Structure 1
Amino acid sequence: MVTINDIAKKAKVSKSTVSKVINNYKGVGDDTKEKVLKIMKENNYWPNSVARSLSTKKSHTIGIFGPQILNNFFFREVFEGIENIMGDKGYDLLYFTNKQWDESWVDYSYKEKCENRNVDGVIMMGYGKVNIAQFDRLLNSEIPSVFVDLDLVGSNTSYITSDNTGGARKAVEYLYNLGHKKIAMIRGLNGFKVATDRFVGFQQAVKALNLPYNSKWMFDGDYSMETGYQSMKEILRLEEKPTAIFAEDLIAIGAIKAIREADLSVPEDFSVIGFDSIEIGRHYHLTTIAQDQIGLGQAASKLLLNIINQKSFSPIILPTRLIEGETCKEI
């Protein structure tokens, strides 16, 4: 097995010079750097990641926390954006799956998990503001961290989200321009920033357009088709029904299912508009307010790299856009 000493001997340079080339440090001439890299390539040599982390104090590994990310239509695409940027920058991704530490006798937190795996930074996805104290140790540590859709900040922490408030206003305004005045909202889980922001935007638009607000048209639930299905069944039992439904894409698909089961049609009987533009929604030709999921992942990665490299950073809010499908109709 070829070692760093072998490369130094073949290149007729010191071991420290080879180390500088490997870690892209300054102080090595272009000719020398080129020669060392050529010999490394000829001998198929690359340093052991553990040894490299000991010398550079960096593991070139980014941790990712998130409940059920890989089974989530939305975060699956965010993850793709993270891979795009971090992979190009030479980082591996470590997806934390071990849930046993929640029940361990050890006083463990996200901070200790990151330290135990020696990650250079961490991206947190899919968390709400319930039990927000669980992040205190991480926020007070020196570990660079970026939250997706949770507005936490610190000396080494920032966040990224989409303009959920503006996007919700956009959805209501679109329905209003189609003639809808009675609009229901199935808003997702309480305690989550995206659900709160979208409800704020919904209320702003309803007030600005002087539309009727009916608490019986407002529903909460998790981000699932079942939530949309059950909520829509309740709407169908109402004496005074809305003419349009606004919900996150997966919830909206559940609502469409309930409408069709009642021998009614979308958009002839009800217009339905979603939020997110996830892949499954495209198969339903769902009109929706689109987020750039891949762009979220890419921007989260760039933000984290700025923190890691001690560059200036601040929270990022990405724009949304309307995608017209076939689930809304003028009345």
Structure 2
Amino acid sequence: MATIRELARQCGVSVATVSRVFNNPEVVNPDTRQNVLRVAARIGYLPNESARTLATKKSYMIGLVWDTHHRRPGWRHPFLQEILIGLKTALSERGYHLLMLATSDGEGSHDRAVRRHNLDGVVFIDNGTQDPALLRLAESGVPCVSLDRPITGPRATHVISDNAGGARTAVEHLYERGRRAIATIAGPGRTVPGAERLAGYRAALAGLGLPARDGLVVEGDFYLSGGYAAMRRLLEADERPDAVFAAGDEMAIGAMRAIAEAGLKVPEDIAVVGFDDIELAALVQPGLTTVAQDKAGFGTAAAATLVAMIDGTAAVPPPPSVLPTALIVRGTA
């Protein structure tokens, strides 16, 4: 097994610097830190985690709670997978490991998992529910960061996109393209992104002087099949829309299939704008115009805030992080 001295020699740094990379990564120059981690992976160097834990009284383990019920499809959504990769990367750069808490075994299961594994903090990814166990955990004083849902607690905060602002941008873009019967396939109203994007859609209509028509609003589920079914309902309405803002890219792509099956063309007959900018958005034909979220930013902001709370260098509780969105114009609008 490679030693710390061998790692230091190959990196051209001192043993003390290597030690800081694994024990106090925030004080090391980012380029140096990345080089040490890269060489360590190549030569198979493993830090003495037990000694580090005893010295610092920290486990360097962060728990992830994310929609663990086996009947829910959240694990496969491409946007959430990209957030997970970004979170894992950002925590690894700070010397932390990510542990998925697949706990759906009843009252208090999350609390027990945190104690059992001596976790330093927890990240929640919103699944659209108000789980009492998660709310209690946020109130317990354990450092917690929630993605896409506000939480309260003495050491709890959240990271979220500017959902309403992104939705307004999408609708305004469609208006600028000459569209006036603008429908929306909304996300589930029980989720914060779904509710905020619908509010942004309605605010944009009001600001543009367009009427809000109930028949042009259909709720989806953030997945392909939901977007397909919602678009079919819109096509059967008394007034066919000339544009659709879908609150998620998978729903937008499902809507494009329904439009094609109806013998219509995108964007000539119906323009489409999505939300997320998943990888598939640039690959479909025509390319999907969409509102991009800062996927890497979710992981970076969550990791930085969580580690600052653990180290005691953050305000308590820290203010939420609201990430900007950006319109990506392609071929559908």
Whether the 8 Å CA contact 1:79–1:294 is kept in 2: the answer is no
Q: In structure 2, how many angstroms separate the alpha carbons of the residues matched to 1:176 and 1:20?
A: 54
Corresponding position of 1:306: 308
| C-alpha distance 261-55 of structure 1, shift in aligned 2 (>3 A) | same
| Alignment correspondent of 1:280 | 280
Q: TM-score, normalised by structure 1?
A: 0.81
Report the number of matched residues.
289
1:265 & 1:220 partners in 2: Cα distance? 23
Q: Return the alpha-carbon distance in structure 1 between the equivalents of residues 21 and 308 of structure 2.
A: 23
Which position in structure 2 is the counterpart of 1:180?
A: 179
Q: Which has the larger radius of gyration?
A: 1
Q: Given residue 62 of structure 1, which amino acid in structure 2 is its aligned partner? A: I
Write out per-residue CA displacement over residues 204-224 of structure 1, whole angstroms, 9 at most, x where no aligned residue: 111111102110111113111
Q: Percent identity at matched positions?
A: 38
2:292 alignment partner in structure 1? 290
Q: What are the Cα deviations for residues 139-192 of structure 1, in whole angstroms up to 9, with x where unaligned?
A: 221211100000112211000001001111101110111111111111111211
How far residue 298 of structure 1 moved from its aligned partner, in angstroms, is 1.1
Alpha carbons of structure 1 residues 47 and 281: separation in structure 2 relative to 1, 3 Å: closer
Deviation digits for residues 248-307 of structure 1 (CA, Å, limit 9, x no counterpart): 110011100011111211111100000110111221210001101111111111111111
Which amino acid letter does the alignment assign opposite residue 332 of structure 2? T
* 1:240 Cα deviation from its structure 2 partner: 0.9
State the alpha-carbon separation in 2 of the partners of residues 210 and 75 from structure 1: 35
Partner residue of 2:263?
263
Q: State the one-letter code of the partner of 1:147.
A: S
TM-score after normalising by structure 2:
0.80
Structural RMSD (CA) = 2.5
2:81, 2:21 → 1: CA distance?
36
Summarize the Cα distance change of 1:21–1:227 in structure 2 as closer, same or farther, 3 Å threshold. Answer: closer
State the partner residue of 1:89.
Answer: 94
Q: Distance in 2 between matches of 1:98 and 1:132?
A: 12
1:52-63 aligned at under 5 Å gives the runs 52-63=52-63
Q: 1:320 to 1:23 in 2, by over 3 A?
A: closer
For 2:220, the aligned partner's letter is G
Aligned to 1:321: 326
Change (3 A) 1:303 1:89: same
Corresponding position of 2:4? none
- Please give the residue correspondences for 1:1-331 in structure 2 after superposition, counting only pairs within 5 Å: 48-50=48-50, 52-67=52-67, 70-99=75-104, 101-102=105-106, 107-128=107-128, 130-247=129-246, 248-284=248-284, 285-310=287-312, 311-312=314-315, 313-328=318-333
Distance 1:22 1:323 in 2: 39
Mapped partners of 2:260, 2:206: distance in 1: 31
For structure 2, which runs of at least 5 residues remain unmatched after alignment?
2-18, 25-43, 68-72
